[in-house]
Amino acid sequence: MTHEYNGTGFIEVICGPMFAGKSEELLRRINRLIFAKKKFLVFKPTIDDRYSANEVVSHSKRAYKCIAIKNATDILKYVTPDLQVVAIDEVQFFDDSIITVVNTLANRGIRVICAGLDCDFKGEPFPVTANLLALAEDVTKLTAICAVCGKEATMTQRLVDGEPAKDSDPVVLVGAKESYEPRCRKCHCVRHE
Ligand SMILES: [Zn+2]
């Protein structure tokens, strides 16, 4: 087996709940890449179109253009020999082939920066993020502020018509008004029915 690792590739993961500033931190790192004149590409899954299809946008509306892709393996089609850094936002929405893709890129000497949710609204880890956290050389776990008590929030609360969501609620609820807010472990609530 060929040992591809050339000593410079590595994986960074930026994780945390919603409203913790993950995209903001990713954009901060992208901004540094621009100043450092690095050759880089930014990707996100096509599923996320909250603000813009072809930009990584933070809640504070900072933005950077990116390539929206459907399958994680599509990233490999864009890799050129001079590529130094790959940034990926909303990484939890990719299927688990993203883990192999990220590992492959790092083994080729590329710095890979992944940002995404670590847990879903039930407080259960997204398998993709959990795996990447285990493989990463560098992990940044960001927190938000609990919308109920003002303490540090590590969890995402899903609300349906203003009430905590049930664990049986489908991902998309037709006709219901749903929202999300950051909460601490104590204030986070999932209704079991
Ligand atoms: Zn709280």
- Model confidence pLDDT, tens digit, residues 74-93: 999 999 999 999 999 999 99
The candidate with the shortest Cα–Cα distance to 92, out of 11, 15, 182, is: 15
Task: Tell me which of 4, 90, 178, 181 is the catalytic residue.
Answer: 90
Q: Is residue 90 part of a domain?
A: yes
pLDDT in tens, 97-138: 999 999 999 999 999 999 999 999 999 999 999 999 999 999
**Residues 69 and 151 occupy one common structural domain:** no
Question: Is 25 an annotated catalytic residue?
Answer: no
Angle at 142 between CA 138 and CA 143, to 5 degrees: 155
CATH number at residue 173: 3.30.60.20
Rounded CA separation 42/162 (Å): 35
Domain termination site, one of 125, 142, 159: 142
- Mean pLDDT of all residues in 149-175: 87
In terms of domains, do 132 and 154 share one? no
- CA 182 to ligand 1 centroid distance, Å: 9
101 and 168 in a common domain: no
Res 2 pLDDT > 60: no
Ligand 1 centroid vs 121 CA: distance in angstroms? Answer: 15
- Per residue in 5-32, pLDDT (tens digit) is 445 899 999 999 999 999 999 999 999 9
Query: Same domain for 16 and 34?
Result: yes
d(CA 125, ligand 1 centre) in Å: 20
3-state DSSP of 42-86: EEEECCCCCCCCCEEECCCCCEEECEEECCCCHHHHCCCCCCCEE
At 52 the pLDDT is 55
Measure 136 CA to ligand 1 centroid, in angstroms. Answer: 29
Do 115 and 99 reside in the same domain of the chain? yes
Of 172 and 142, which is predicted with more confidence?
A: 142
Distance 184 CA to ligand 1 centre (A): 4
Confidence of residue 61 (pLDDT cuts 50, 70, 90): low
Give yes or no for residue 171 having a pLDDT over 80: no
Task: For the chain, give the percent of residues with pLDDT over 70.
Answer: 88
Q: Which CATH number belongs to the domain containing residue 138 in this structure?
A: 3.40.50.300
Q: Provide the pairing of β-strand 155-160 with 163-164.
A: antiparallel
Residues 90, 26 share a domain? yes
Alpha carbons 89 and 146: distance in angstroms, whole number:
23
Residue 172 has pLDDT above 70, yes or no: no
User: Given this model, what pLDDT does residue 5 score?
Assistant: 44
Domain-located, residue 151: yes
In this prediction, what percent of the chain has a pLDDT beyond 90? Answer: 75
Residue 138, domain extent? 10-142
Fill in the amino acid letter for 2.
T
- Judge if 30 and 84 occupy the same domain: yes
- Our count of domains for the chain comes to 2
pLDDT of residue 60: 67
- The residue out of 120, 142, 164 marking a domain boundary is 142
